[in-house]
Amino acid sequence: MQTIVIVGGGAGGLELAASLGSRLGKKKQAKIILVDRNPNHIWKPLLHEVATGSLDMSIDGVSYRAHSGQHHYQFQLGTMTGLDAADKQIHLAAVDDEYGVQVLPERNISYDTLVMAVGSVSNDFGTPGVAEYSYFLDSHQQAERFQRGLLNSFMRVNQQGAENKLRLAIVGGGATGVELAAELTHVANLLKQYGMPEMSASRLQVDLLEAGPSILPALPARISTAARRELQRLGVVVHENTRVTCADERGYVDQNGDLIAADLMVWAAGVKAPDFIRDLNYFELGRGGQIVVKPGLQSSVDDNIWVLGDCAACQQPDGSWVPPRAQSAHQMASHIASSIRRQMKGKPVRPYLYKDHGSLVNLSRYSTVGSLMGNLSGGTMFVEGKIARLMYMSLYRMHQLSIHGWLKGMCLILAQKVGHMVQPKIKLH
């Protein structure tokens, strides 16, 4: 019985583990092992809601251990630090608790098939001061750390005079930065209901900084224009053509030497593959340290190693590169699951073709904008408002159904909706 090891439990990795576990693990046709450095999963596009307290990891997160027991795969907690391709083993670092006491020792895990699904991390491009003074939103731990700092800052401003504001600067006008800016406004208004009567969006100053000529640069101009208009209506100051050259305790400094003062700073500009991939010194790497793959998503140097999601450098027949989006990871996970099953039957691997179903940007409870059906005859359909928000929320629901199955997924969705009706609308601790 072959062993399939999946490193990374993000959107694509967890969907792949659930699919292979339900099809191969349940029938004892293969042993499926999922490895992740965290014990819990959250859909990465929603990390900005974890950061503002709109989502609570203890309620909305998925425990890998519980999920593995229901979907016939094994879970190993740990961080991959090494690869021995000759012996087909990966090396995991020891796991310590918060007090420095070792919980799990260093381990080697053998594989027949390895899937790298380690996602991406923020790229600060070596900008001085950014790592020291900025929050990042690459993981739920980082998002929860920011949420604690944000809540403390809100409480402090609530006690001060009405002329004082909480100043917050976000670098990066992509989807994460834009959605975070809108969500912050929503949360600031909600705090009146939860013991902060002097708090509102008027006590919040959000500056959104984008180095390029427009926010949401990867999306059609109509979407970026609509998003900019809505953010400005909410009071967010949008700085385009603004490149950050350094950061310090006062805020960010742009290319003209001007200071954008901030009490809290968030860096959400650019992504790259985790640095440890380069340190493995095994794969062919593309731009941003991504692993170059063949048309079928096998790594260019080893057919026994597959790659999916943000860490994959996958070029399409037309010369374009698959973008680092959740829909890409979902499609790649489905393709690899099908390909592995085909291989086990002695069938050849088919090439992977990315299908762009459009993009949606959720501006909290205020609006949603985006385009749909981007792959149909080269055309797009612009959507905005309630219909767009419904479509956006359906993406998360589809992810839940893909990892839990239809019956449990629908029950879980219903339970969460009931829970959100009786629980506070934001996390207050």
* Structure confidence at residue 275 (pLDDT): 93
402: closest CA among 21, 116, 65, 40?
21
In which band, very low, low, confident or very high, does the pLDDT at 379 lie, cut at 50, 70 and 90?
A: low
* Structure confidence at residue 370 (pLDDT): 73
Matching fold, domains 2-120+273-344 and 124-269: yes
Mean pLDDT for the chain? Answer: 91
In the CATH hierarchy, which fold is given to the domain comprising 2-120+273-344? FAD/NAD(P)-binding domain (3.50.50)
- What's the average model confidence in pLDDT over 254-276? 95
In which band, very low, low, confident or very high, does the pLDDT at 382 lie, cut at 50, 70 and 90?
A: low
In which band, very low, low, confident or very high, does the pLDDT at 124 lie, cut at 50, 70 and 90?
A: very high
d(CA 58, CA 318): 43
* DSSP one-letter string for 245-311: EEEETTEEEETTS-EEE-SEEEE---EE--HHHHHT--S-B-GGGPEEB-TTSEETTEEEEEE-GGG
**Token pair 């609530």: residue:** 158
The domain locations on the chain are 2-120+273-344, 124-269
- What's the average model confidence in pLDDT over 156-179? 91
The answer on pLDDT for 377 being more than 50 is no
The answer on pLDDT for 409 being more than 90 is no
Q: What's the Cα-to-Cα distance from 262 to each of 61, 127, 184, rounded to whole Å?
A: 31, 17, 14
- Structure tokens of 11? 């959107």
Which tens digit of pLDDT belongs to each residue from 27-61?
999 999 999 999 999 989 889 999 999 888 887 88
Q: What percent of the chain shows pLDDT beyond 70?
A: 97
In which band, very low, low, confident or very high, does the pLDDT at 392 lie, cut at 50, 70 and 90?
A: confident
* Overall size of the chain counted in residues: 429
Lowest mean pLDDT among 14-18, 293-297, 422-426: 422-426
- What's the average model confidence in pLDDT over 130-147? 95
- What's the average model confidence in pLDDT over 80-90? 97
CATH 1.20.140.10 fits 124-269, yes or no: no
- Structure tokens of 308? 């999916």
- What's the average model confidence in pLDDT over 233-262? 96
The answer on pLDDT for 225 being more than 50 is yes
The answer on pLDDT for 299 being more than 60 is yes
Which tens digit of pLDDT belongs to each residue from 344-373?
999 999 999 999 887 778 887 777 777 765
